[in-house]
Chains A and B, each alone.
Chain A
Amino acid sequence: MDMLETSAEGPFVTGKVRLIHAAGMHARPAVKLTKLAKRFQSQVSVRASETADWINAKSVAKVMALRAPRDATIEFKAHGEDAEAAIAALIDLVATDFPDAGA
């Protein structure tokens, strides 16, 4: 699903996934998502609709402010050396509904 594209900031990787979490992007998923994003060197952005501005996926305050409801499509964008790994890991986290182990 990942695509390699190029923008002004250089090549980036994107990916999207449906949010299946019953309560939407509330505190616990947001904490897990930002913690995981911080493990990567790449700059990682996230948005919850195609028209929204990209926000920093490493900021829990910003991710909470997405107010993404259940079934929202979450889009990620990363650029940096480990961009592909970051996108794969984040998509997996959301797709597997933020499991407790390893987060």
Chain B
Amino acid sequence: MTMRADVAGLSFRGRTASIGFARGPFIRISAGENRARTAGKPEDEALALREATRSAAEQIAELATAAGGEAAQILEFQVALLEDEDFMHPIFVDIGNGHAADAAWLSALDAQIEDYNSADDEYLQARSSDLADLRDRVLHILRGGERQAPKIPRGAVICADDLPPSRFLEIDWSAGGGLALLRGSPTSHVAMLARARGIPMVVQLGSLPDGATALLDGESATLELDPGAEQIALFERRREAHRKSRASARAILRRPAATWRGEQIRLLINIQQVEDLDHADAQYADGIGLMRTEFLLSGPGGMPDEDTQYRAYEAVLRWADGKPVTIRTFDAGGDKPVAGFTPDGEANPFLGLRGLRLCLARPDLFKVQLRALARAATRGNLKVMFPMVTVPAELEAARALFAQAVADLQAEGIGAMLPELGIMVEVPAAAMAIGDFKAAFFSIGSNDLAQYVLACDRTNGALGNLIDPLHPAVIELITRTAEHGRRAGVPVSLCGDMASDPACVPQLLHSGLRELSVNAPSLAQIKQTIDRLSHGGSGG
């Protein structure tokens, strides 16, 4: 759609598929047409199709080898389709009935593409461009065409209706460039390829006039055609700002560790569910400081069985590949009710049966989780922590149940072990009597700690100004816990929202914390914050 025409060039807006900036010649490409075949003898037509699919599979395999990684996996789908007897059989039947190879192939593929396009699922719709790619490749061979790479100047902004993945891979992107699609989808394979290559891509631009040069801004999803000097200057300013922020954040992430006053600050991540590990920055974390397990309770099957839980824990340990993973046992209750698990009708759920209190009250359900964790402990660097612990007796009761689960499993001949056990420090009584707990580590839950110290329900918006995690009383308890850890040689970390807030991080370091667990998207910013504190002089 046209946004404005009051400046030299025209500006169009679509949807972002891949962030980045490209400025270059504007080139339109389209799939070439060849002459249709005249049907020969059915045997000859069948042979022609067989040979065409074989050379198509070879071409695709070559592309896949050259491209590697994700691109190779995408192309595998096309090869799999060519090798699918159920899919190919009706086409050969059609040929047997006197149809030309290209016509039979075309109608089968068009029907499949139509089917994918009519799906509700955007993901499946996006797959139709892979099918169109395969359709055109085989058709081209059947019609005697020589496939050649499109002649495209380097660094061009390429415009097409939609672009198949194999065409994307044939284009030389080494000098940059961008992709402006009239249709297309942000979830298509070609969008994934563009993101992986860092090629800006904007889709669903509608119809576009011709132009000689273009500015493509993947961030704001705009395409500007034949821009004037003012548009170019603004574009370059946006590109430079983007480049700087990306470069500094990424560079920071790649450094091995953050340090402050010569001490290493370990930065771990919090995850809500296994899929959170897909975040691109997760790989740069020093481990997982908090894996919540409540998501397991909200699945369609009700309470998850031991194997389901084990698979989730094991998947995270496998991903961590030896880095520490701290899993927190079910923290239901409070503002996280779970049908069939948490009690109904509590007047003050935050002061009620929640966290470890609830688990100890329901040993039948707790035992299932402890068994799954005991099995997972043999598969990586697992630590387990209990939430909402008030007195040492609760930790010891949980430890006894855990030890019993390990003994039961071993008696059944199943590999199991007791992991390191720690507690969340979020009840003020626990923070004040921290020396009484025989825990292998402490993790400060600053959200709940602030709520209980300040007597403010953290879900009550009217108390927003009062619930300040930097209140001296909260900081006092954090500092006390960190000092105890240092004296006793017990690691202390903090996994609440404070750790992901650049405004709170200086205070946490001053309080003596050397390990923070943050949300994956905040990792770069927090690492940058610590870096600036240690190099900017304000950290003293």
Interface residues of chain A, those whose CB is within 8 Å of chain B, are 18, 20, 22-24, 26-28, 30-31, 34-35, 56, 58-62, 64-65, 67, 69, 71, 95-97
Contacts and interface: CB of A to CB of B under 8 A. Distances in A.
B275 A61 contact: no
Nearest to B299: A71
B130 A61 contact: no
Contact of A95 (B73, B119, B311): B311
A60 B121 contact: no
B168 interface: no
A61 B78 CA distance: 10
Given A27-B189, A30-B77, 11 more contacts: A26-B123, A27-B130, A30-B80, A56-B86, A58-B85, A60-B81, A60-B84, A61-B81, A67-B124, A96-B315, A97-B315
Contacts of A59: 84-87
Contact of A60 (B77, B274, B299): B77
B410 interface: no
Contacts of A64: 124, 127
Q: Is the interface of B mostly helix, strand, loop or mixed?
A: helix
Q: Which 9 A-B pairs have the closest CB atoms?
A: A59-B86, A61-B87, A27-B77, A60-B80, A31-B80, A60-B84, A59-B84, A31-B76, A22-B275
Interface string B65-105: 00000000110110011001111000000000000000000
A64 B125 CA distance: 12
Contacts of B301: 18
A97 B318 CA distance: 12
9 contacts: A18-B308, A24-B123, A27-B130, A27-B189, A31-B76, A58-B84, A60-B81, A61-B84, A67-B119
Given A23-B123, A67-B119, A60 B311 contact: no
B213 interface: no
Contacts of B299: 71
B127 A26 contact: yes
Interface string B103-130: 0000000001001000101011001001
Contact of A71 (B81, B112, B127, B300): B300
Contacts of B119: 67
Nearest to A100: B73
A61 B112 contact: yes
Nearest to B79: A31
Given A34-B84, A60-B80, A60-B81, A28 B73 contact: yes
Which interface residue of B73, B86, B121 has the most chain A CB atoms within 10 A?
A: B86
B121 A67 contact: yes
B15 to A, nearest CB: 18
Contacts of B274: 20
A87 B74 CA distance: 26
Contact of A35 (B80, B123, B278, B300): B80
Contacts of B81: 60-61
A20 B315 CA distance: 11
Contacts of A95: 311
Contacts of B300: 71
A10 to B, nearest CB: 22
Contacts of B76: 28, 31
Nearest to A22: B275
Contacts of B189: 27
A63 to B, nearest CB: 9
A24 B275 CA distance: 13
Contacts of A61: 81, 84, 86-87, 112
Nearest to B312: A20
Contacts of B74: 27-28
A39 B304 CA distance: 32
Contacts of A67: 119, 121, 124
